Amino acid sequence: MNTRTKTATMIAAAAAAVALLAGCANDGTGPEHTTEHQPAATSTAASASTPADSASAHNAADVMWVQMMIPHHQQAVEMAEMVPDRSTNPELVALAAQIEAAQGPEIEQMTGWLKDWNAAATDSAMPGMDHSMPGTDSAMPGMDHGGMMTAEQMTQLDESTGAAFDQAWLEMMIEHHVGAVDSSQEILTDGQSAQVKELAQSIIDGQQAEITQMKAMLGQ
C-alpha cells in the first residue's frame, strides 16, 4: 500500500470514529445523558419534600365543636374542683382528680387549635354565652353539646356537702359526660380534622368508662 492510500485510510477511520461518538451523544448513551433528565428528577424530589399538609385540615363543624367543647370541659373542671372540700368519699375524690387531670390539658389543646386556625375564641365567637348556663344547643343548631349545668344547679352543688353532694355531683357529671360523648360521636361523622377526631374518640372512650363507674357508685 502506498503512502497516499494509507493516508486516505487513516482519514476515513478518523471520520468514522467521530461519527460514532456523535451518534452516541444523540441517542442518549453518551456522557451527556447523565444530566439530560435531571430537571424531572429535581421536580419530583421537590414535590416529594413539600407534600400537601393535611395535619391542619379542618371544617366549620370542627371549629364549632372545639369552640363549644372548651366551655363544656371548663364546667367539668369547675365541678371537679368542688369535690375535695365537700366529699369524704375517696373514690369520688380520685375520680374528680382524674377528670380534672384529663380535661385541663384538653382545654389547652383545643385553645391552641383555635389559635392555629385563626378562629375566634369561644367567648368572642358566642357573645354573652355563660359557661355554666344552658342554651348551648340552640346557640349552635346542629351541634349537640348537651349536659351543661344551669347556674342554679351549679349553685346548689356548691352549697351541698357530704352524701347529698356526692349524689348530686355524680348525677350531674353523668349527664355532663353523656352530652360530651354524644357530641363527640357527632363530630366523628361531621368533622374533617384528624386531630379533632382523635380527641373526640378519646373523650368517648374515657368518659364512657367514667359514666359506667359513676353509675356503679350510685348503685345503678
User: For the chain, which residues make up each domain, given as ranges?
Assistant: 3-49, 60-217
Residue 23 has pLDDT above 70, yes or no: no
CB 109 within 8 A of CB 66: no
Confidence at residue 41, expressed as pLDDT on a 0 to 100 scale: 44
Interval 66-86: pLDDT, tens: 999 999 999 999 999 999 999
CA distance 220 to 212: 9
Domain 60-217 CATH (choose: 1.10.260.40, 3.40.50.9100, 3.50.50.60, 1.20.1260.10): 1.20.1260.10
- Written as nine digits, the cell of 42 is 429535581
Go through 159-168 and write b for each residue having 16 or more CB atoms within 10 A of its CB, e for each that does not.
ebeeeebbee
The pTM (predicted TM-score) of the whole model is 0.69
Residue 210 has pLDDT above 60, yes or no: yes
CA 179 to chain centre: 20
Interval 107-134: pLDDT, tens: 999 999 999 999 998 654 443 344 333 3
